[in-house]
C-alpha cells in the first residue's frame, strides 16, 4: 500500500478507543483518477444482501428495495462464469453489460485447504455469494477482464468515450458549486492542472459523484451542511442539512495464523507470477492473476444467531508465503507501529502465514466528517466513530472465536497451524485468549477496510439526518443531485464497489425518466 499521486491519501483522526496501534490515524485511501476507488480497490464483486436494500426502503426510500435494485445489478454485469450465471435459475446475474466480472485463478493450494476446513467445521458451502443464501463460505468474484482490472472507467467510459455528448476533463479540481441564484445550482467551478480556472455550466442539473468524502466536502464548501459547522468557517449557509454525518465504514481486525508445514514458498510464487506476466505481456494470454495474496474463499456468519438468514461478520482470507517481506510492507502502509510489524516480520522468517480479516459488516457505530478550513485543498476532518456502539466490537470478538474453531480443524492441524500472538504490550495485562484480551487486541489492531459511505444520507423529508430524497435530489437546493456511495442510508453488508455501481445505474434511470 504505497502512497501515490493517484490516491487522495486521507487519514482519519486518532481515536482513544480504536486503531490504537496505528501511529498517525487510520489510513483512508481514495482513488484520485478516472474510475475513482474502483481503480485501486481489491476488485471484489460483493452486492450485500436482500435485507440491506429492503431496509433502505423501510427507512422511507421508495423504489430502493431489493426487488427494485436487483435489475440494476444485472444490467451492468457481464459475468464470465456460466455456473454463476446459471445458478438459482439464472435470476441473479447478467451477461452483456459493460462491467466484466470473473473468477480468480488462485496461485497456491491454500484456498483448497481453507475450503476443506470450512466443510469440516460445518459451514454451509455457497454456490454464489450474490445469490439467495448469505451465510456460509464460497468463492468471491472480481471486477476484472482477462488479466486486467475492470474499473468503472474501463467499463463505462472507455466504451463510450467517442460520444459527442460526453466530454472528459482530466486533472480538474472542483472547488465549489456555482449558483444561478440563492439556491439554484447552475454549474461547477474548477481549477485545471493546478493553474487554470474553469467554469462548467449545466443545461439541466449538476450531478455530484465524488464519493463519500469528497462529495460532502464539496457540498459544505458550497454552503450545504450543518449551520453551526459552516458559520464557524464564515461559509454562507444555503441549506442546513446533516452533510458529513451518518458516516459509516466496515471496521476490521487482522488475525494471523502460522502454518508450520509450509504449503508453498516465495520462489515458486514469484516464478508463477513471472510466467503469467509473460503470458500476458508477450503471448497476449488473458489469465487473471491477483498479486496481493487475497484469496477467493470468503465467508459470512451471524455471530448472534446461527439460524439467521443474514450475516453481521465477513471473513476475507489472505496468504503470506514464508520470507515474503513485501507483504509486511502492506501492513506498514496501513500505518501499524513497529512492534506489530516486527512481529509479522519475525514469524514469516520460518513459516507461511494465513491472515484473516474479520469485518463487522452491519455496523451500528457512526462517525462524522467535517471541514477543517474553508480551503478546498485542505483535507476534511474524519472521525471514524469505530466502536461508538459496543455491538460492533462484540461482533468482531465473536468472529475471532469462529475463526479459531475453523483453524482448529483436522486439516489445519495436519499443517501444524497455530494462532500467532502479535506483540502488543498493553494487552499483556490480560489473560491470553480471554474476552478482555481480545477486546484489547481489537481496539489496538482495528482499522478501515475502505468502505466509507452514508455521509449524504438518502431519506424522507422528515428524517432529520437526510440530505437527499429517494430521487437523489439535495433538499433545499434546485438542480443538484448526488449519485455515489455517500447516499447509502446504511452501508451494505459487504464490499461497496458493486452497490455503488448499482446506485449509478439506478440514478441514471432516475435522471432520464425525469427529463423524458
How far from the centroid of its chain's Cα atoms is residue 399's Cα?
A: 19
| Cα distance between residue 246 and residue 487, in whole Å | 10
Place of cell 504490550: 425
Which of 123, 134, 250, 451 is an active site residue?
Answer: 451
| Cα distance between residue 466 and residue 111, in whole Å | 43
Length of the chain: 516
Dihedral sign, CA of 407, 331, 35, 107? negative
DSSP-based three-state secondary structure for 362:
coil
| Cα distance between residue 233 and residue 116, in whole Å | 58
C-alpha cell at 135: 451465510
Active site residue 250: no
The CA dihedral of 298, 449, 215, 44, to the nearest 10 degrees, is -20
Task: Calculate Rg over the CA atoms of the chain.
Answer: 23
Question: 3-class secondary structure for 383-450?
Answer: ECCCCCCCHHHHHHHHHHHHHHHHHCCHHHHHCCEEECCCCCHHHCCCCCCCHHHHHHHHHHHCEECC
* Residue 325 CB coordination number (10 Å): 12
Query: Minimal CA–CA distance to 276: which of 264, 266, 288?
Result: 288
Which residues face 368 on adjacent strands? 383
C-alpha cell at 24: 498517525
For residues 468 and 482, the answer to whether their CB atoms sit within 8 Å is yes
| Cα distance between residue 14 and residue 57, in whole Å | 35
The residues that are catalytic are: 451
Amino acid at each position: 500500500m504505497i502512497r501515490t499521486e493517484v490516491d487522495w491519501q486521507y487519514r482519519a483522526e486518532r481515536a482513544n478507543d480504536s486503531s490504537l496501534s496505528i501511529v498517525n490515524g487510520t489510513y483512508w485511501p481514495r482513488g484520485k483518477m478516472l474510475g475513482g476507488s474502483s481503480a485501486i480497490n481489491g476488485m471484489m464483486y460483493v452486492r450485500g444482501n436482500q435485507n440491506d436494500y429492503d431496509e433502505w426502503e423501510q427507512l422511507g426510500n421508495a423504489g430502493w428495495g431489493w426487488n427494485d435494485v436487483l435489475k440494476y445489478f444485472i444490467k451492468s454485469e457481464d459475468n464470465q462464469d456460466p455456473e454463476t450465471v446459471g445458478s438459482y435459475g439464472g435470476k441473479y446475474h447478467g451477461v452483456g453489460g459493460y462491467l466484466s466480472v470473473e473468477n480468480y485463478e488462485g496461485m497456491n493450494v491454500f484456498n483448497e485447504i481453507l475450503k476443506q476446513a470450512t466443510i469440516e467445521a460445518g459451514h454451509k458451502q455457497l454456490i454464489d455469494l450474490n445469490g439467495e443464501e448469505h451465510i456460509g463460505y464460497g468463492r468471491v468474484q472480481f471486477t476484472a477482464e482477462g488479466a486486467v482490472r475492470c474499473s468503472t472507467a474501463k467499463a463505462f467510459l472507455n466504451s463510450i468515450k467517442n460520444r459527442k455528448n460526453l466530454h472528459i476533463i482530466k486533472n480538474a479540481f472542483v472547488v465549489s458549486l456555482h449558483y444561478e441564484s440563492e439556491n439554484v445550482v447552475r454549474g461547477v467551478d474548477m481549477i485545471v492542472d493546478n493553474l487554470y480556472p474553469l467554469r462548467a455550466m449545466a443545461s439541466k442539473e449538476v450531478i455530484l459523484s465524488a464519493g463519500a468524502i469528497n462529495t460532502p466536502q464539496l457540498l459544505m464548501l458550497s454552503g450545504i451542511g450543518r449551520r453551526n459547522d459552516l458559520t464557524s468557517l464564515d461559509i454562507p449557509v444555503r441549506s442546513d442539512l446533516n452533510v458529513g454525518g451518518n458516516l459509516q465504514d466496515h471496521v476490521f481486525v487482522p488475525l494471523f495464523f502460522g502454518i508450520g508445514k509450509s504449503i508453498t514458498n516465495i520462489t515458486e510464487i514469484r516464478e508463477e507470477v513471472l510466467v503469467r506476466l509473460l503470458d500476458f505481456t508477450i503471448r497476449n494470454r488473458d489469465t487473471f492473476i491477483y498479486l496481493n495474496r487475497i484469496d477467493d474463499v470468503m465467508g459470512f456468519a451471524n455471530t448472534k444467531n446461527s439460524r439467521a438468514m443474514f450475516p453481521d461478520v465477513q471473513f476475507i482470507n489472505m496468504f503470506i508465503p514464508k520470507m515474503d517481506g513485501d507483504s509486511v510492507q502492506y501492513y506498514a502502509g496501513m500505518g501499524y507501529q513497529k512492534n506489530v510489524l516486527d512481529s509479522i516480520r519475525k514469524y514469516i522468517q520460518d513459516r507461511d502465514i494465513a491472515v484473516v480479516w474479520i469485518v463487522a459488516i452491519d455496523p451500528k457505530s457512526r462517525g462524522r466528517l467535517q471541514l477543517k478550513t474553508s480551503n478546498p485543498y485542505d483535507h476534511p476532518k474524519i472521525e471514524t466513530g469505530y466502536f461508538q456502539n459496543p455491538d460492533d466490537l462484540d461482533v468482531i470478538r465473536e468472529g475471532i472465536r469462529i475463526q479459531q474453531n475453523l483453524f482448529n480443524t483436522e486439516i489445519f492441524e495436519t499443517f501444524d497451524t497455530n494462532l500467532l500472538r502479535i506483540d502488543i504490550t498493553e494487552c499483556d495485562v490480560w489473560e491470553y485468549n480471554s474476552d478482555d484480551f481480545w477486546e484489547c487486541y481489537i481496539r489496538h489492531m482495528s482499522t478501515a477496510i475502505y468502505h466509507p459511505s452514508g455521509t449524504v444520507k438518502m431519506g424522507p423529508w422528515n428524517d432529520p439526518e437526510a440530505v437527499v430524497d429517494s430521487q437523489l435530489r439535495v433538499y433545499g437546493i434546485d438542480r443538484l443531485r448526488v449519485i455515489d456511495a455517500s447516499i447509502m442510508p446504511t452501508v451494505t453488508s459487504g464490499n461497496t464497489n458493486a452497490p455503488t455501481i448499482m446506485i449509478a445505474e439506478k440514478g441514471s434511470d432516475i435522471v432520464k425518466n425525469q427529463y423524458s
